[in-house]
Amino acid sequence: METVSENACFGGTQGVYTHASTACSCNMTFGLFLPAEAKDGPVPLLWYLSGLTCTHENAMTKAGAQTWAAEHGIALCFPDTSPRGDAVADDDGYDLGQGAGFYVNATEEPWASHYRMWDYVMDELPVLLERNFSLDMDRQSITGHSMGGHGALTMAMSPRGQFRSVSAFSPITNPTASDWGRKQLSAYLGNNEDIWSPHDATLCMRDRGFDGPMLIDTGTNDQFIDLLKPEALAEAAAARRQQIQFRMQPGYDHSYFFVSTFMEDHLAFHAEHLWA
């Protein structure tokens, strides 16, 4: 692991690091904010998964999350959204290939060699973080925006029980029934739709739900709301009687202005459960 940069930030440190990833077979970059409390011992960790076209940097610089993470003594990890590099397969569209990993393990060519973002976020990067930083890996939660909200929800609802709480900003909630999903899942995983279901938050909710609290925010003026399908997840959560706060925020769109507006709420929500 190599340090790209480290900057003082709200009494803590905002770092950017790069390392050779075994899961993705290329160099990967991530951001990590450590609050001041990390100097005295391990602190809880909140993952933030970003959306289509983003890198590790977008939320790190635009979401305002460090302000509230510092207040609650929580670390923040900002992984990249896909593998990158000249040898990594790509596509001319913004919604497939580099910047659009969809947090799955690809099985189809030309993606299978590098696009293993599920293993990267769930397995490889946690081990690297625990080895190199003062983090309490028994206290993890996860959030994300758009494609990252999709990843956060599906990872939280996996059977492993890795996360204490989950939240999402304008998540893609039903990708098997959306143009933001069917294209990518068929490209990465093939045409057998039975294999897609672990990567659809609505289907995961119907199947098993989440053993913990959930918070979902979506703007009523989100320009992509028909692709996100928030109503599908809301109906599945209601049918399951899932512990969830599901909020449609009047007038807000899909931008980081929306994300930063409600970031304080999400950090406080996770802090309550990470420090419990």
Structure tokens at 114: 């590098």
Res 50: pLDDT? 98
pLDDT score recorded for residue 213:
97
Say if residues 223 and 254 touch (Cβ distance below 8 Å).
yes
Q: Which domain holds residue 209?
A: 2-274
CATH code of residue 45? 3.40.50.1820
For 136, counting Cβ atoms within 10 Å of its Cβ (0-12 exposed, 13-18 middle, 19+ buried), the class is: middle
Euclidean distance between CA atoms 20 and 40, whole angstroms: 29
Coil vs helix vs strand at 192: coil
The dihedral region occupied by 187, where left means phi > 0, alpha psi between -120 and 50, and beta the remainder, is: alpha
Say what the pLDDT of residue 264 is: 98
pLDDT in tens, 19-31: 999 999 999 999 9
Amino acid making up residue 49:
L
The pLDDT tens digits for 119-164 are: 999 999 999 999 999 999 999 999 999 999 999 999 999 998 999 9
CA dist list (Å): 87 to 25, 103, 114: 10, 19, 9
Answer positive or negative: Cα dihedral of 172, 174, 179, 181: positive
- Alpha-carbon distances of 270 from 91, 219, 255, rounded to whole Å: 36, 20, 22
Q: What pLDDT is recorded for position 119?
A: 98
Q: For residues 155 and 58, what is the distance between their CA atoms, to the nearest angstrom?
A: 21
Active-site residue set? 146, 222, 254
The reported pLDDT for the residue numbered 177 is 97
What does the pLDDT read at residue 7?
98
The pLDDT of residue 54: 98
Distant-in-sequence, close-in-space partners of 177: CB < 8 Å, separation ≥ 6:
202, 229, 232
Positions in the chain whose pLDDT score sits under 50: none
Q: How far apart are CA 49 and CA 59, in angstroms?
A: 9
Q: How many domains does the chain have?
A: 1
